Amino acid sequence: MKFKTIFFLFNGIILFSFLFIALMPLFVLGGEYTRIFWEENWFLALIFIVFISVLDGYFIINWKMFSLLEREDWPGLTAYLENEVYEKNKLNSRNIKMMVNTSLTISNLDKISRLEKEVSEKKPAMLSQHGILLGIPFLLNQNRDEGKAFYERCIDGGSKKDLPWLQWCSAFLLLSGQELDEARPLLTDLSASAGEPILKLLSIYLLSTITPEEDEVLKSSRSSFLETYPDRKSLEKHVARSKANNVVVLLLSSILDDSQNWIYA
């Protein structure tokens, strides 16, 4: 359904609902009671006006963005977001997420790298919050030195929710640089403590590439995982959810496939 159609249909439904409620006393109890009712409850009309004004204001302010999304005009949306971020200094969570996703759609990692530098310089407090997304160029290009420093900063300020994935990304980058001694403790900890099943699986798998099969931590982590998820079918919904909610899992889906092949071999 077209964005404009949704906008006007929504307004029509809200307006009809309000008029129905406003005029119902008139039809049921007559004009005098209606006058008394609205004299005592005038604030309801004010609440409605404020509500619809705020909602419509949001849509109108972002009309161009929604129109570009509707047309799937990714270069146009990228240009719009760059203007919002770099010219108008609107460096907020929504623009960061949209900028990263749009840059991935047009396969331009340089735009994400530029955004990461902008966040680092102007909003360093937001770096950890969006470190998983902003670190994607380091994972895919394997720029190890800069990537290592980036993840160290993010991990230092990472929230409880994002910290495990930031640690995994850091370990992945360390492995790509053959820095096994630094990667191993991160993966060992995640293999034992990660709550998210896909993160746990990926951690166990990466640990298996640098640890002997008879290692007790590896054996215990793998055994525990298989007790909870004995076959691929039991893991399907978690795979789908992770790919939908975490773009890193989607981008590194080949590693996820390898990890499933390994653990269910």
Same structural domain, 161 and 246: yes
Is the predicted pLDDT of residue 142 greater than 70, yes or no? Answer: no
Of 77, 109, 126, the one marking the end of a domain is 126
Tell me, yes or no, whether 44 lies in a domain: no
Tell me, yes or no, whether 166 lies in a domain: yes
User: What confidence tens digit (pLDDT) does each residue in 49-62 have?
Assistant: 888 888 888 888 88
Question: Pseudo-torsion of CA 117, 119, 121, 123, nearest 10°?
Answer: -170
Tell me, yes or no, whether 21 lies in a domain: no
Same structural domain, 189 and 227: yes
Tell me, yes or no, whether 28 lies in a domain: no
Q: How far is CA 128 from the centre of its chain?
A: 13
Same structural domain, 72 and 174: no
Tell me, yes or no, whether 2 lies in a domain: no
Number of domains present in the structure of the chain: 2
Q: Which residues contact 183 (CB under 8 A, 6 or more apart)?
A: 171, 172, 174, 175, 206, 210
Same structural domain, 190 and 151: yes
Q: What is the pLDDT of residue 1?
A: 53
What pTM does this model have? 0.80
Of 77, 96, 126, the one marking the end of a domain is 126
Same structural domain, 200 and 73: no
Tell me, yes or no, whether 22 lies in a domain: no
User: What confidence tens digit (pLDDT) does each residue in 187-228 have?
Assistant: 999 998 888 999 999 999 999 999 887 788 888 999 999 999
Model confidence band, residue 170 (pLDDT cutoffs 50, 70, 90): very high
Domain range enclosing 109: 64-126
Phi, psi of 195, deg, nearest 5? -85, -30
User: What confidence tens digit (pLDDT) does each residue in 76-124 have?
Assistant: 999 999 999 999 999 999 999 999 999 999 999 999 999 999 999 999 9
Which DSSP symbol is given to 172? Answer: H
Same structural domain, 103 and 164: no
